[in-house]
Structure 1
């Protein structure tokens, strides 16, 4: 190890060692593979072959580029791949479906039903209510989870919490700290748009949605969606959104899969998603 440290400690010694190593590696190779190393190194090649360094890479290994940072090397290769025409935009194919097939969207009710079905497939609970029942539905959902404290955007419509009793509601103004968000049982928000085809709700930080942390830290997200906010497809949703805003696309509770392919919910956000769908 001392010898290695001595060699690596000086750029000239390191460069000389690389040159000799590459030269010996090429002398020992047969058919582009190193199949047997001498001495104690032979144990390494008993179970595996090593590729011989190509001759065209030699200047990069031992010349000035050897002292190039990894970032510079990556950028150099990107520039080479792009060539002289870099910076020009390529045409984007637009042949994908922009609207739902007629069979899936004969009526507006069909679109709402598809959204409910796909959201349920994503393990989200959906409840349809009339406009004057929104407050009762929100209260019932929170009582059902035995919530004691919730957080809400400062501009959440008052009527959504009008029937709530026995639950402390904290407005995110000024911004609540992380411990308060983590200690709250749920968050109630609206959304910017929803997608029937994928059962997705999209938040953009607009009215009744709040900042992104508000909907990522609490374990239960209760989202109120108006029927006229639901579109059929993702392209339709993108057409309604401002790409400059902070967009959060939510398709069911937060979930990931571990190394044993076991589903784990709540790893990166709420483990429960409920949707109150207001049929205006």
Structure 2
């Protein structure tokens, strides 16, 4: 059975050394699991018994296209009106516990591995009706309409229902669980799961226009970020700005898996935030 990592409860002891792996640069950031303590959580209006670790948000010099949260929803917690930003779309991925997700009046039960896409303008609510803490990843983005294309519909699935697609010439050592077909141009973001078996790797320095958010679900690896190789493990988060060179080597002993955000299928903006024109 697959398990997914999450933040550790409580605070580190006063005796722990400060040396760690947290890095923030102009091209990437690494937020290790070990720094996601209770002291850095946020609480948000309209939510009951829920803590948030804010991993990425639109900010000059940091993420430009998305925000990403880790949520810990205690029994009885949740929200009747979670998304207050007009035009925002979202993806939920459950890593622990169970939640009741209501989309346009329809109730859905999500267990670990559960995935939901929530298009802009969707009325939804979420609750933890169980007896244990539920943990989720929530990715948010302002939807970018495209001429002649309608917005996608909401859907709910589980990663166990999708066969990972192996990358060419890798003998299955590098595969992607795609929740949305790449040629579905209605979608302006993809949130997929990437899996490397021990010894699997990205064999070149990928350098591309897509911004990334990577939440490590399982295992460990060394990841090339711009000029440096860094060690990452389950529960870590990485942000990569557009064109940040990247590569990966999964050394084992088990699979290395992460939830990957990227912006796709839209022209580069020439005006507005993050663009040259005004």
TM-score w.r.t. length of structure 2: 0.25
Larger Rg: 1
More helix by share: 1
More strand by share: 2
